[in-house]
Amino acid sequence: MDMQTVVVCTSGATRADVIAVARHGARVQISPAALDALAASRAVVDALAAKPEPVYGISTGFGALATRHIGHDLRAQLQRNIVRSHAAGMGARVEREVVRALMFLRLKTLCSGHTGVRPEVARTMADVLNAGIAPVVHEYGSLGCSGDLAPLSHCALTLMGEGEAEGPDGRLRPAAELLAEHGIAPVELREKEGLALLNGTDGMLGMLIMAIDDLQRLHTSADITAALSLEALLGTERVLAPELHAIRPHPGQAVAAANMAAVLKGSGLTGHYQQDEAPRVQDAYSVRCAPQVSGAGRDTLAHALLVAERELASAVDNPVVLPEQGRVESNGNFHGAPVAYVLDFLAIAAADLGSIAERRTDRLLDKNRSHGLPPFLADDPGVDSGLMIAQYTQAALVSEMKRLAVPASADSIPSSAMQEDHVSMGWSAARKLRTAVDALGRIVAVELYAATRAVELRQGLTPAPATRAAIDALRAAGVPGPGPDRFLAPDLAAAEAFVRTGALITAVEQITGPLA
């Protein structure tokens, strides 16, 4: 199969484009219209550069040093220097997919025709992406205002043939060697180009788009595991009736309830909640309110998606070129507040989804609340501990997610001699959301592991066809069912992979049809 090619246009990019380039190695190609737009905006910059009047980013210093006029003989050095000095990141390397998203989104903005870089700069960035070269970008260095400065600077450094980068084989090497190996000439930056390569919200936006992609899959997976837990606890599916959710018309809530109802269709385990020695009038909140919590998270995702789509259609730079008017104007569009807020919002919603899933797992393991299941779902309780410590691990992940839900965007710290006196911390919000998404995948996997075992322990009762399909697929993936104690960590890792890759959804949809 030919590798997918994403065409970069003047009008922006789609979420699918970002995912294809960042995660699946898609090639990029610059459209002829984008090359024309690049040339037109560059003509404006060249005309202003020839005039004696200072223009920010073209013939001045940067930030608090913008008061100095820079002569023609020092302008190339000025652009090189901003890249070198701003490539000041520290800490662990960020993931390859984040770097590719970062570079692709910066390329998208360059091709908008509002940044003033030459077409050859954009072509070089496209060539680096297509060669599978990923600059070394570090965890710390962005305040989320004036863009993701240090991360983007490390990417620009690679375009100049400086610093280190990861080759397509995963090895770190000098950037100059990698460029030469792939026949890519390093760029020699001219007026405004260094600044244009650094001044965007591309890192936080790329991480937002990938988090949305992951969370959409995890919400559907969490609806499935909630249904499995309801079934294993002999709960009632009547709370999922569409007429109940129609009278509180949050869209996500109705979707989550419909997903759960589809999974439970034909179950022989549901509806036994009034047959206990002490009949239940209602199921516990963690079971009964699953659609409300998952649904609120889905609506949060919808809002985040709206922000992401707007940002994908944006040209974020300072100063910005307005070719039609022949002007270059300073602005504040690089401020990451819109993206930072939704990154934090998603971390809050994800933490609550993880929290309610853990409460259902704990209920499955507690003989006083599980309605007839053995303690900790153990084979021989006392001799076997069952899933006792799996729930500990899940609880630790939930606590971590609660800490990660503390907003980064509520913070600000002055920089650049008080010129940049309010910042978004959007990069930090994105980094902690990535950690939260990973944790949520593990939490859902533990609930899946517990709920499928609990369903199988309900001897004499027939689970829903969709439940049976999920159990069979999980077992086929190497995750065993009930039995004596065994080394749990590999089983939990396999369950996590089963959730993270979407295999759980695929198995269930073979019975239910598409879930939302």
Tens digit of each residue's pLDDT (9 = 90 or more) over 272-331: 877 766 678 899 999 999 999 999 999 999 999 999 999 999 999 999 999 989 899 999
| pLDDT for the residue 1 | 38
Catalytic choice (56, 140, 273, 341)? 56
Paired residues of 165 in beta bridges: 135, 173
The residue whose two tokens read 């269930």 is: 508
Question: Could you tell me if 188 and 75 are in contact, meaning their C-beta atoms sit under 8 angstroms apart?
Answer: no
- Is the backbone peptide bond immediately before 414 cis, with ω within 30 degrees of 0? no
Domains for the chain: give ranges and CATH numbers: 5-200 (1.10.275.10), 207-512 (1.20.200.10)
Six-digit token pair at 83?
A: 């890249």
| pLDDT for the residue 276 | 66
SS3 300: helix
pTM strictly above 0.85: yes
| pLDDT for the residue 2 | 59
- Is the backbone peptide bond immediately before 242 cis, with ω within 30 degrees of 0? no
Question: Could you tell me if 147 and 320 are in contact, meaning their C-beta atoms sit under 8 angstroms apart?
Answer: no
* 56 carries an active-site annotation: yes
SS3 50: coil
* Residue whose C-alpha is closest to residue 298's, from 223, 386, 395, 390: 223
Paired residues of 321 in beta bridges: 328
Read off the amino acid at residue 206. G
| pLDDT for the residue 146 | 81
Question: Could you tell me if 515 and 474 are in contact, meaning their C-beta atoms sit under 8 angstroms apart?
Answer: no
**Strand 27-30 to 5-8 pairing:** parallel
The pLDDT of residue 342 is above 50: yes
Six-digit token pair at 374?
A: 């053995």
CA 273 to chain CA centroid, nearest Å? 39
Mean pLDDT for 152-166 is: 98
Taking the C-alpha atoms of residue 476 and residue 511, their distance in angstroms, rounded to an integer, is 17
| pLDDT for the residue 67 | 78
Question: Could you tell me if 464 and 224 are in contact, meaning their C-beta atoms sit under 8 angstroms apart?
Answer: no
CA distances from 30 to 27, 189, 312, 394 (A): 10, 20, 16, 46
Taking the C-alpha atoms of residue 402 and residue 415, their distance in angstroms, rounded to an integer, is 29
The residue whose two tokens read 């993931």 is: 95
